[in-house]
């Protein structure tokens, strides 16, 4: 099994992947500055294991999840009440199982194994574009029976604020989904919502998402844009976008499978519509991602010469 990282670099952005750990984007560096949250207790800056950690598919309850960080794709809805819900993470196939990788100039495609639990095979294709990239997601039904799922892309980022574009739609524009510690503070300011930096554990859903979200991190802004189908059904109360916050707590959260947050983490989560897939059918979701410096800041280093994937 290949355990070496794969890097995609255009001189402005440098993307790092480790397919042995699934389809994750584990490093996103803009002009040398890391944008994503990655677990430093498990992986170093070169995506090598730390302290003798060994890579292996992971299963169990939420508190058993080996959270490497980065950006990954799962099926939604999440839950534990039956076969119509995905009971992860952890998950030994779609989350932590090895993915195959193919690369080309400015592009990498990562493909999961066939998951007997959901009937799905996931594909993630990244295409570099200047100071951003296009992420094309596909979920294909490889089983023998119809299944109903939505694509769910989860980007883990360090503590910061989140700005969410809102469409002019009836209430509720924002809903509480997982108030595990206390309610997640937020403000609705006309055509946008703002989730300030805060120490808590919980999740908000945005049924009136206008199709964009920006994470304002310590040194960079990451914006994701996506299409919202107003005629479609979305998971979690009709939420095409969700924001999850977590911070270290005195003890694990029993109500969330003994989840024990390792750091202050923000998750910007983009969802596709719930889709019934006949055997062989597929559903797709495209996300356009850009990374910028805050207004008034200066480049961290000169852009490096362009290199091919390796």
pLDDT digits (tens, 9 = 90+) for 7-25: 999 999 999 999 999 999 9
Residue 182 has pLDDT above 80, yes or no: no
Residue 202, beta-bridge partner list: 245
Average pLDDT score over residue span 147-157: 98
Q: Which residue has the higher pLDDT, 206 or 303?
A: 206
Cα–Cα dist 4/65, whole Å: 22
Residue 310 has pLDDT above 50, yes or no: no
pLDDT number for residue 249: 86
Calculate the average pLDDT of the chain.
Answer: 92
Cα–Cα dist 112/231, whole Å: 30
Centre a 10 Å sphere on the Cβ of residue 188 and count the other Cβ atoms it contains.
13
DSSP 106: T
Q: Whose CA is closest to 91, among 73, 67, 68, 65? A: 65
Residue 307 has pLDDT above 60, yes or no: no
pLDDT number for residue 301: 47
Specify whether the CB–CB gap between 154 and 146 falls below 8 A: no
Q: In what order do the strands lie in the sheet with 221-226?
A: 100-104, 107-111, 120-129, 132-141, 282-292, 221-226, 209-216, 161-166, 192-195, 187-189
Rounded alpha-carbon distances, angstroms, from residue 16 to 6, 190, 277? 6, 37, 32
Residue 288 has pLDDT above 60, yes or no: yes
Confidence of residue 298 (pLDDT cuts 50, 70, 90): low
What would the pLDDT profile of 165-178 be if each residue is shown by its tens digit? 999 877 789 999 98
Average pLDDT score over residue span 185-204: 95
pLDDT number for residue 181: 61
Class of 6-292 per CATH?
mainly beta
């Amino acid at each position: 099994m290949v355990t070496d990282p794969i890097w995609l670099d255009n001189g402005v952005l440098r993307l790092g992947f480790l397919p042995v750990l699934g389809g994750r984007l584990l490093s996103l560096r803009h002009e040398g500055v890391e944008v994503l949250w990655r677990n430093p207790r498990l992986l170093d800056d070169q995506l090598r294991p730390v302290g003798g950690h060994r890579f292996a598919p992971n299963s169990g309850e939420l508190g058993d999840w080996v959270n490497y960080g980065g950006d990954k794709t799962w099926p939604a809805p999440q839950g534990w009440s039956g076969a119509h819900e995905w009971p992860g993470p952890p998950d030994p196939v779609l989350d932590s199982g090895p993915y195959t990788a193919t690369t080309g100039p400015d592009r990498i495609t990562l493909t999961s194994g066939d998951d007997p639990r959901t009937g799905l095979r996931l594909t993630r294709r990244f295409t570099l574009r200047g100071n951003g990239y296009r992420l094309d997601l596909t979920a294909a039904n490889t089983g023998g029976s119809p299944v109903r799922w939505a694509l769910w892309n989860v980007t883990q980022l360090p503590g910061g604020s989140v700005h969410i574009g809102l469409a002019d739609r009836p209430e509720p524009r924002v809903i509480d989904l997982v108030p595990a510690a206390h309610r997640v503070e937020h403000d609705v300011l006309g055509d946008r919502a703002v989730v300030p930096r805060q120490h808590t554990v919980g999740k908000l859903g945005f049924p009136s998402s206008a199709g964009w979200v920006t994470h304002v991190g310590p040194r960079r802004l990451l914006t994701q844009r996506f299409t919202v189908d107003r005629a479609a059904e979305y998971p979690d109360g009709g939420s095409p976008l969700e924001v999850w916050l977590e911070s270290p707590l005195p003890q694990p959260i029993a109500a969330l499978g003994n989840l024990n947050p390792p750091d202050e983490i923000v998750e910007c989560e983009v969802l596709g519509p719930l889709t019934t897939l006949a055997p062989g059918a597929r559903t797709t979701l495209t996300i356009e991602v850009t990374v910028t410096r805050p207004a008034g800041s200066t480049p961290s280093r000169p852009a490096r010469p362009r290199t091919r994937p390796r």
